[in-house]
Chains A and B, each alone.
Chain A
Amino acid sequence: MSLMGFALNALLQNERVNAASPADDPFARPEMEPKSYDLKPKSPHFEPRAKAMISLWMQGGPSHLDLFDPKPELQKMDGKDFEGDIKYDNAAEASSKLMASPWKFHKHGGCGMEISELLPGLGEVVDDITLIRSMHTGVNNHGQSIQAMQNGRILSGRPTVGSWLTYGLGCETENLPAYVALIDPGQLPVMGVENWTNGFLPSIYQGTVIRPQAPRILNLDPPPYLKGAAQTEALNYLEELNREHLARRAGYHDLEARIASYELAANMQLAAKEAVDFSTETQATLKMYGLENPETKEFGARCLIARRLIERGVRFAQIFTENQRWDHHGSIVSKLPTACKKVDVPSAALVKDLKQRGMLDSTIVHWGGEMGRLPVIENNSGPSRVGRDHNTYGFSMWVAGGGFKRGHVYGATDELGHKAVEDVVNHFDYHATLLHLFGLDAERFHYDSNNRSMSLLDNQGGRVIKGLLA
């Protein structure tokens, strides 16, 4: 259970990273007792650049060709046959005809980064981000590529990045979950709850879901009718019952501890309530996140909650778009702009806000999904109905803060935007780099499950991409 751990932090103390194992050091830790795990803050292997992370998870495959990766050659070749090898996901709608982007790209900021007209908000913060144009997972369906990006391999059942980070580093607050998943009011994304699973790690490292409606955190919030005074009355009565019970059982410490644990539980409820309460935010902040605009309000609120949680010591927050929001097999001309409008302004606001609060240096922001899209047309049945099929051989995402470069473009795809060819960043390279920024050496960072040494990179040879680091 995801809430299991964060109450164990009652004794806050700095511990060594959960990285030593009997393999390195068979005599270091005599253990007959089962190992115990907690969420106390832990020092990483070396001085970290990043202390927390917010990932904006764009499930479905945002079209890099129409958002991040302008391709003059593709514009010229519009309608011509694609000559190379290509992997189609949807056979019946496949075509070999190239499709130019219907949108214009403009240079932004001091760095002159080229971004599509669909993302004007992002245009305002390009000097603070690194745009990676050479992402690669190489598995062309959603489920597997999601797993590659989220848990390091194309397999299911492994712990997610957030789970690894909280296992390694714990949490800076005892009253909030270490790792939160802010889900969309729509359907869960592909792979559902696997997106925040602890896999084989202890269950205290599972992501805690913050729901879009009450109760916001199951098991932490009561159902609406009990919230507030009704639950307080019940807790008062419970304490009365427990005190009376204890009076005739003096000296049984466990009974006293259980009474005390309700106080701790109540603190956690208060902290969670406070974290999602915007009454202390200024009008300007609310406006910046797009809370006054119906199109951006919902996503903006989740971005703001994420910032507030990180501010209060949460280690890792991931914000999810709904199921296949970016999976534009058809009607890309109308659907892509809609998808962009929901997230563009709030995503940029998050970068601006973290920066103005001095938190961006130590907080990584990530924006991206599991794939990009093909340069060829899918569903060639009229301009309003065309789309693009999956592409995991080359796609884009952006990162900011926490030691990533600013105003930088890294890597490139081929001239038609099909495959990453220059400075390719595999999912495992990205993960090695993330761990590095958090002060963790991917080679030394592992967990023993059934006497098998398990790690995020899982011997795939991921390397820290120096070219991404500030």
Chain B
Amino acid sequence: MRSRLVFAAALSVCLAVPAVSQSDSSQPAETISFERDVRPILKKHCLHCHGEGDDIEGGLDLRLRKFILAGGESGPAIVAGNPDESPLIERTVAQDMPPGDVKLTSSEQEVLGRWVESGAKTLRPEPEAIPDGVYVPAEEREFWSFLPIQNPPIPEVSAKDRVRTPIDAFLLRRLEEQQLSFSPDADRRTFIRRATYDLTGLPPTPQQVQDFVADQSPDAVENLIDRLLESPQYGERWGRHWLDVVGYADSEGYTIDDPIRPHAYHYRDYVIRAMNDDMPYDRFIREQLAGDEMIGFPKKNLTADETEKLIATGFLRMVPDGTGKVSGEELPLAENQVIADTLHVVGSSLLGLTLSCAQCHNHRYDPIPQAEYFQIRAIFEPAYDWKNWRKPSARLVSLYTDEDRKVAAEIEAQAKQIDAEHKQRAEELIAETLEDQLVQHVPEALRDALRVAYQTPVAKRTKEQQDHLKKYPKILKISAGALYLYDRELRSKLAGLKKEQADKTAAAIAAAQKLALQSLADDVAKQVAAAIAVPREKRTKEQQDRLAEHAGLEVTASNLATFDPQAAAEVAQRQSVIDRTKERAPQLAAIANRAKALRATKPKEHFVQALTEVPGKVPETFVFARGDYHNPTDKVAPAALSVVMANNPAEIPLNDEALPTTGRRLAYANYLTNGRHPLLARVLVNRIWMHHFGTGIVATPSDFGRLGEPPSHPELLDWLATQFMESGWSLKTFHRLVMTSTAYRQALRVFPPDRTDPDNRLLSGMSLRRLEAETIRDSMLAISGKLNSKPFGPPVPVMADRVGQFVLGIENLNAGRPGALIDMKGEDLRRSVYAQVRRSRPLSLLDSFDAPRMDPNCEVRRTSTVAPQSLLLMNNEFVHDRSHDFARRLVTQAGADRSEQVKLAWELAYCQSPSDQQIASALDFMERETAVLANSPQAASLAKQDDTQTPAMLALSSFCQTLLSSNRFLYVD
């Protein structure tokens, strides 16, 4: 049942309605052609059974017009010019065909009908013969994204004064065609806020804004961009973008226990460092696809550079992996899901294709036969090796050196000795407990038999012994693990012994004292006794003198033996019983802790979550019929997609003899990044563009196929891709190119009354963008002066708070219940990119603002506008805390003057200086709010706990919160 589900789900994903209509019913009938209009419909609905499959149903092949005319077992499928006599038309309209629930839409039926009616024409003569299986006609091979990347000439435009970079010329050309043009340049404050958010994900400081506004240099913009590109926050921002497509997560997902991946963060840090170092993107991709093969892994004692390359392959280890948790029937399903998800990530991040749609059948829209899906899979197969699967823990690579290993082995040997001690002590303590329990709860006559019964191994106990023990469950259940339960009894016994000891010792001292004083006269004895009764340090001078006169008569616990040796011996005897009566579980725990502490002195072992191959193992790959791994059919060799190989043939070895591994991924990585692949550079530059303008030139950044949206500016896309590659695949160079353009420097677009170009695809102004989830949180921290900018390292953990919302914190549960909060030492104030991505625990604050769920990755972020976001901004604890911090910062930096506070607040939150009207209105608000709070008993009781929280201060916090909730903060112009 479950195994069937996976392909069913994969199928459904592939059946979307094309975004671009393939037929326009207003088209004149005579322009309808087989290649352009009819074949896509047949491919979507029919070719699977009628032409491309192993069996041709009813002998009817619909791949070419002439096959259709020839027909199958029931005769011709169409009669040109006569739809009414064409079975193809009749049966699809009657919905006999195709079988299943998805039928042709009425417009698809109409296209077929009109094609037949108009004579069933083709655009050009069809080939004489075509091979069996998938046939890709020229129309499909020549789809725009499969053609080589061009370096188009820069177009001429009228508004030459607005052309700062060739980007502007490409855009203006389209705008001018529509009688549109660019908007004026944005003002400096708007620009620095936009640029700083774009490159760092944080707002500029007021000082940075002032410096930029005052900068008279003609290169002010260029200098600003250079400064931003050099900041360490750049990598955190752009690393996050890449981590989205990769589907970075700190947990395995798939099963509900969602185990943590403690070593995944090395990959996150690798990505951030690569961004900051402006690692050429081609190398960045090669390392991620085949870093292990680049360094000739496996090998020991890795250098830092080799380690980084190994870490890079974490790219291929990011999808959910449930194979560490499931078993039996579910295991092969989970294993294949890992491979399928990884291919999905490769397809969407690097190729911009919905590769997964070809897993169960030939791709219904793009020329990707199912066999080619498995050829791609074969590139990755040696590393995953479905038949010799390695669970996530077995895929970790230790960074231990030989020296580390030696030291660790020595320590382990010592720890083993402590383990042995632990075992022996446990046996002793169990024996003691047994005796205790026998004495306390079992009649003497039965004790020996019960002891023997307990000590007899379970399997060898007689029926009588079993029955006997059953009556005494307290004996039966004694075990090392249960000692803590028996300690409760021991504790109350010990309390009794101590009380007895105290009472009896006091009595013995009193008796001995009485005897000792008998030698004195009665009145003297009374005085001495009275002095003795007073605690030593409280005795008067007189009492001290009296005792000095009769030295040696005072009986104490320590000298009791000299007065009454027998009583002293009894005290000592009882004390030795007390001393021996120790709680037992802690004794064992102490030994275990010693072993643990010793083991903790081993050199710290770091692991890399890497993708590696096992040398010598070269698994075979088969096409799975309907994607079902139960049904392997044809064996396939590794290969790249054929449709993009026209000018760029790929040679993927079966097994490269020069390497310890197969070399398949390395060859593929080199091929993808050789500068001639039609998709890779286009896909990459389109994503970068999307992050600068809100929408890509191709609005579907992970689908450059037929179902994706066509590029708004195809020449610009190619020009950018060419520039990108020619610049040495430098992301930072690319940012400079884009951000210095007039297009990027424009003011926010003002919508014309007729809402021409409603999606602003022509970029006649800047698009309005909402801050992403992480940016909102990080900005609140920055603005309130609380951001902890510590980079890198293990993620800040996520826990459920007392109501079940996920917040940053160290989990502290007792029987599932939250215990005391553990001090985060400022870790909870770090940037969001360092927050743990536990798939089952989306951080509530980020989740509300559309942070992605990684199942398996995020191709494009969506922004929602819903009331819970407003509720969160109004009432969430984090927002309140930051507002209070923000208010305190204002007082500290702007002083007591309210207008100055407002000005600084505006600068911090908006990068704007407020108008007089805006200041007046803010002051008005705070005055009203102060008055309300001055009359609030709740505010008064808050002030009692914290005297800085005056009504005026609370009103300032409320003002700060309002700024942080406002659209001027949440959106970037």
Contacts and interface: CB of A to CB of B under 8 A. Distances in A.
A218 B962 CA distance: 18
Interface in A76-135: 81, 86, 88, 90-96
Interface string B314-345: 00000010100000000000000100000000
A240 B922 CA distance: 10
Contacts of B928: 233
Interface string A221-246: 11111110111011101101110111
A88 B473 contact: yes
A261 B800 CA distance: 27
A93 B485 contact: yes
Contacts of B868: 1, 3-7, 219, 265
Nearest to B961: A234
Contacts of A25: 101
Interface string B677-702: 00000000000000000000000000
B770 interface: yes
A187 B804 contact: no
Contact of B932 (A233, A246, A254): A233
A245 B11 CA distance: 46
A219 B871 contact: yes
B966 interface: yes
Contact of B938 (A227, A234, A250, A452): A227
B429 interface: no
Residue with the greatest number of chain B CB neighbours at <10 A, chosen from A143, A215, A241, A242: A241
B803 A211 contact: yes
A155 to B, nearest CB: 7
A370 to B, nearest CB: 12
Question: Which of B100, B101, B867, B918 is packed against the most chain A CB atoms within 10 Å?
Answer: B867
Interface string B818-855: 10000000000000000000001010100110000001
A235 B929 contact: no
Contacts of A206: 804
Interface stretch (A49-57, A196-204, A300-308, A355-363): A196-204
Interface stretch (A28-36, A288-296, A334-342, A411-419): A28-36
Interface in B477-511: 477-479, 482, 485-486, 488-489
A231 B954 contact: no
B185 interface: no
Contacts of A229: 932, 936
Contact of A252 (B11, B17, B768, B922): B768
A143 B921 CA distance: 56
B855 A450 contact: yes
Given A92-B482, A96-B473, A22 B880 contact: no
Contacts of A154: none
B16 A2 contact: no
B472 interface: yes
A258 B933 contact: no
Contact of A23 (B8, B921, B933): B8
A96 B472 contact: yes
Contacts of A5: 868
A229 B933 CA distance: 9
B470 interface: yes
B967 A245 contact: yes
Given A28-B101, A230-B932, A196 B866 contact: no
Given A225-B942, A258-B865, A452-B2, A187 B817 contact: yes
Contact of A238 (B322, B707, B965): B965
A22 B9 contact: yes
Given A7-B866, A234-B929, A238-B966, A218 B5 contact: no
Contacts of B604: none
B617 interface: no
A3 B472 CA distance: 54
Interface stretch (B51-59, B212-220, B250-258, B575-583): B250-258
B871 A192 contact: no
Nearest to B487: A92
A91 B967 contact: no
Contact of B929 (A88, A158, A230): A230
A156 B813 CA distance: 14
Contacts of A215: 875
A450 B320 contact: yes
Interface residues of A, number: 101
Interface in B3-37: 4-6, 8-13, 15-17
Interface string A15-33: 0000000110111111111
Contact of B751 (A2, A31, A235, A250): A250
Contact of B936 (A207, A230, A450): A230
B585 to A, nearest CB: 11
Given A226-B958, A258-B967, A157 B473 contact: no
A8 B864 CA distance: 11
A208 B865 CA distance: 21
Interface string B941-973: 010000000000010001101110111101101
Contacts of A259: 967
B805 interface: yes
Contacts of A139: none
Query: Most chain-A CB neighbours within 10 Å: which of B1, B840, B871?
Result: B871
B463 to A, nearest CB: 13
Nearest to A269: B871
A142 interface: yes
Given A1-B848, A450-B322, A264 B867 contact: yes
A458 to B, nearest CB: 10
B954 A225 contact: yes
B146 interface: no
Contact of A231 (B100, B258, B477, B874): B874
Contacts of A192: 800, 813, 816-818
B210 interface: no
B966 A241 contact: yes
Contacts of A270: none
B466 to A, nearest CB: 10
Contacts of B869: 258, 261
B755 interface: yes
A142 B817 CA distance: 12
A254 B865 contact: yes
Contacts of B768: 249, 252, 254-255
Nearest to A196: B804
A391 B778 CA distance: 50
A155 B257 contact: yes
Contacts of A226: 958
B5 A453 contact: yes
A268 interface: yes
A187 to B, nearest CB: 6
A95 to B, nearest CB: 6
Contacts of A181: 804
B865 A257 contact: yes
B471 interface: yes
B748 interface: yes
Interface string A263-277: 011001100000000
B817 A189 contact: yes
Contacts of B932: 229-230, 233
A30 B103 CA distance: 12
Q: Which 6 residue pairs are nearest across A and B when measured between Cβ atoms?
A: A91-B477, A7-B867, A251-B751, A157-B256, A193-B804, A92-B485
14 contacts: A4-B866, A7-B866, A31-B16, A32-B354, A220-B871, A225-B939, A225-B942, A230-B936, A234-B925, A242-B966, A245-B967, A250-B750, A259-B967, A451-B9
Given A258-B967, A268-B867, 4 more contacts: A2-B804, A96-B473, A218-B875, A233-B958
Interface of B: 1-2, 4-6, 8-13, 15-17, 100-102, 253-254, 256-258, 320, 322, 337, 354, 470-474, 476-479, 482, 485-486, 488-489, 707, 748, 750-751, 755, 768, 770, 800-805, 813, 815-818, 840, 842, 844, 847-848, 855, 863, 865-872, 874-877, 880, 918, 921-922, 925, 928-929, 932-933, 936, 938-939, 942, 954, 958-959, 961-963, 965-968, 970-971, 973
